[in-house]
Amino acid sequence: MFKIIKKKQLNSAVTLMEIEAPYIAKKAKAGQFIIFRVDEHGERIPLTIADSDAERGTVTIIYQAVGRSTIMLSQMNEGDSILDFVGPLGTATHLDGYKKVCVVGGGVGNAIAYPSAKALFNNGAEVDVIAGFRSKDIVILEDEFKAVCSHLYITTDDGTYGEKGFVTNKLQSLIDAGNQYDLVIAIGPIPMMKFVSKVTEPYGIKTLVSLNPIMIDGTGMCGGCRVTVGGEIKFACVDGPDFDGHQVDYDELMKRNSFYKEREHCDVDTCRMLNAKPE
Ligand SMILES: Cc1cc2nc3c(=O)[nH]c(=O)nc-3n(C[C@H](O)[C@H](O)[C@H](O)COP(=O)(O)OP(=O)(O)OC[C@H]3O[C@@H](n4cnc5c(N)ncnc54)[C@H](O)[C@@H]3O)c2cc1C
Ligand code: FES
């Protein structure tokens, strides 16, 4: 069992948890993820390792409660334990040798982008972060990003905080202002990663995106996380989750991810634990 050491609500839907998992904490690198199962009836759910502390033996996850399993996890508290917590899985992001990088996060994707920004900054790179949110009330990790980047630009779609507009507008204006990035990392909703890649493509700026297909085993066996990159079939759990943003077939990924939408809604509606009324 894996004990929840710390729980912090970052906004109304996003929770940070530190989990006691010393073996994972020892090996975790930026870009890798874990798969958890709340209990013996739970689904296997992938979440990025947002941070880790080898000395304390803890792994940090930051997740948005969007459906049955993430809602169940968010109902657990400090001192409770999760049945399964497996990792580190996936290929770590290659972050050596870059001098000037722009890390672009969208919504909860900022939590997935944070460890890469931190690792790049600690490697001595100049790191600009563009953190995009729909609105002020869901802004997360502002102080954490400030500590690991050269410039932090926050954008909100409705203009209630930071600059009004999309992350793509800000990225375009930074490129137009003469910033010469040798890498852009984009992590967030699939359309956002697609359009960030479209902004960087004409300039030949290397762009990494972190893909989020449905994953089951997380070890390359089931084929659930199949994606097409550069015309070739890849398995995101072992070949990724990071891929060349200019080569990804985003439309196929969106289609495959929506395959179980109806079933996922039913799951939330019928789950007895989620619908339980306090006695
Ligand atoms: C490598 C990877 C890293 C991720 N890291 C994070 C993270 O750090 N924080 C975060 O909030 N979210 C992250 N996600 C997304 C997260 O796994 C889904 O939000 C979660 O699975 C939803 O499950 P649910 O039962 O709560 O919701 P459901 O209602 O079952 O699903 C909601 C949506 O989540 C996605 N999803 C459902 N099951 C899976 C699955 N087994 N594998 C992948 N996606 C699924 C689907 O797009 C679905 O439409 C990551 C996904 C991947 C693949
Ligand atoms: S999750 Fe099964 S092959 Fe990747």
CATH number at residue 59: 2.40.30.10
Is residue 199 included in any domain, yes or no?
yes
Helix, strand, coil fractions of the chain, as percent rounded to 5: 30, 30, 40
Shared-domain flag, residues 200 and 124: yes
Shared-domain flag, residues 153 and 192: yes
pLDDT digits (tens, 9 = 90+) for 41-91: 889 999 999 999 999 999 999 999 999 899 999 999 999 999 999 999 999
220 lines ligand 2 (CB under 6 A): yes
237 marked ligand binding residue: yes
Is residue 193 included in any domain, yes or no?
yes
φ/ψ of residue 40, rounded to 5? -65, -15
Is residue 94 included in any domain, yes or no?
no
Shared-domain flag, residues 25 and 124: no
Examine the fold and report which residue of 210, 242, 273 is the final residue of a domain before the chain moves on. Answer: 210
What does pLDDT average to over the chain? 92
Q: How many helices (H) and strands (E) does the chain have?
A: 10, 17
Examine the fold and report which residue of 36, 55, 89 is the final residue of a domain before the chain moves on. Answer: 89
Mean pLDDT, rounded, for 123-136? 96
Examine the fold and report which residue of 210, 241, 273 is the final residue of a domain before the chain moves on. Answer: 210
Residue 243 Cα to ligand 2 midpoint, Å, equals: 16
Shared-domain flag, residues 197 and 110: yes
Is residue 130 included in any domain, yes or no?
yes
Type of residue found at 208: L
Is residue 228 included in any domain, yes or no?
no
| C-alpha to C-alpha distance for 127 and 225, rounded to whole angstroms | 30
Phi-psi region of 250 (alpha: psi -120 to 50; beta: other; left: phi over 0): alpha
233 lines ligand 2 (CB under 6 A): no
Residue 148 Cα to ligand 1 midpoint, Å, equals: 26
pLDDT of 4 strictly over 70: yes
What pLDDT does 271 receive? 55
Residue 69 Cα to ligand 2 midpoint, Å, equals: 18
Dig out the tokens for 109 from the structure.
């994707």
Query: What CATH code is carried by the domain that includes residue 178?
Result: 3.40.50.80
36-50, 153-167, 262-276: which range is least confident on average? Answer: 262-276
Is residue 36 included in any domain, yes or no?
yes
- CA-to-CA dists, residue 109 to 149, 187, 233, angstroms: 17, 5, 24
Q: Is the separation of the CB atoms in 107 and 121 below 8 Å? A: no
Full residue range of the structural domain in which residue 75 is found: 2-89
Shared-domain flag, residues 165 and 186: yes
Shared-domain flag, residues 120 and 48: no
Pocket test for ligand 2, best of 215, 243, 253, 257 (most atoms within 8 A of CB): 215
215 lines ligand 2 (CB under 6 A): yes
Name the band, by pLDDT with cuts 50, 70 and 90, for residue 261: low
Quote the percentage of the chain above a pLDDT of 90. Answer: 87
pLDDT digits (tens, 9 = 90+) for 201-233: 999 999 999 999 999 999 999 999 999 999 999
Residue 214 CA: nearest ligand 2 atom is: 1
Is residue 215 included in any domain, yes or no?
no
Shared-domain flag, residues 9 and 104: no
Is residue 266 included in any domain, yes or no?
no
What pLDDT does 257 receive? 85
Q: Is the separation of the CB atoms in 59 and 19 below 8 Å? A: yes
